[in-house]
């Protein structure tokens, strides 16, 4: 079993100059069923801890967070500590964090994040899905549609309205989709102006 950290201790550390890296290690079923994520946390598969532990910065402190702070996050914290990473598990897990009023971001329940983008993207836009899948949500789903249909596809597949006012962008419009790394802002869309 790894070392534990309480919700008040984590809240204090998150507002410090050197906040820990929080990793959501809930089971796929728990993650999918919930409509919120720990604000700013990375999502990683607890069964694959040996594979992704090598990707973590050695200097960073890590807090593993599962649904209730029991065996799953304790095992992940212990495995990370064995790999030489300063790791703890969150007492009470995400449920304890929510009960204490900790920051959470919304996500579509029953799914990872969903992204709509234009089909046949230019080379500068190919990296975007890769970056999302690599660093934000490994289970992210992408819907590639003709440029003229991007907004209609967003409306059809993701009917929830955005939570920020419409703003004109010179070459693209972006609606953030259940991004676990920021405040909830709706859905992500990238629409080319057609000139590129």
Distance CA 128, CA 173 (A): 15
Is the pLDDT score of 17 beyond 70?
yes
Is the pLDDT score of 191 beyond 70?
no
> What are the angstrom distances between the C-alpha of 161 and each of 76, 100, 143, 165?
37, 28, 18, 10
What is the domain partition of the chain in residue ranges?
3-106, 114-189
Q: How many helices (H) and strands (E) does the chain have?
A: 7, 10
> What is the per-residue pLDDT for 147?
74
Tell me the residue length of the chain. 196
Is the pLDDT score of 187 beyond 60?
no
pTM of the model: 0.59
Please give the average per-residue pLDDT across 16-33, as a whole number: 89
Higher model confidence: residue 11 or residue 195? 11
Out of 3.40.250.10, 1.10.150.110, 1.20.210.10, 3.40.50.2300, select the CATH number for domain 3-106.
3.40.250.10
Is the pLDDT score of 171 beyond 50?
no
Is the pLDDT score of 46 beyond 90?
yes
Is the pLDDT score of 161 beyond 60?
no
Percent of the chain scoring above 90 in pLDDT? 31
Task: Work out the pLDDT band at 56, boundaries 50, 70, 90.
Answer: confident
């Amino acid at each position: 079993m790894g070392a534990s950290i309480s919700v008040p201790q984590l809240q204090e550390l998150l507002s410090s100059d050197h906040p820990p890296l929080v990793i959501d290690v809930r089971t796929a079923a728990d993650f999918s069923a919930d409509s919120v994520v720990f604000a700013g946390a990375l999502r990683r598969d607890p069964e694959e801890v040996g594979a992704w532990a090598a990707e973590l910065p050695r200097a960073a402190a890590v807090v593993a967070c599962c649904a209730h702070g029991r065996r799953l996050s304790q095992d992940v914290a212990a495995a990370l500590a064995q790999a030489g990473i300063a790791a703890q598990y969150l007492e009470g897990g995400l449920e304890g964090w929510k009960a204490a009023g900790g920051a959470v971001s919304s996500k579509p329940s029953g799914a990872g994040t969903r992204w709509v983008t234009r089909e046949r993207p230019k080379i500068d836009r190919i990296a975007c899905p890769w970056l999302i899948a690599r660093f934000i949500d490994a289970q992210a789903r992408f819907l590639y549609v003709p440029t003229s249909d991007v907004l209609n596809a967003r409306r059809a597949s993701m009917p929830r309205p955005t939570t920020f006012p419409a703003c004109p962008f010179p070459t693209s419009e972006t609606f953030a989709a259940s991004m676990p790394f920021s405040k909830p802002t709706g859905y992500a869309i990238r629409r080319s102006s057609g000139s590129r």
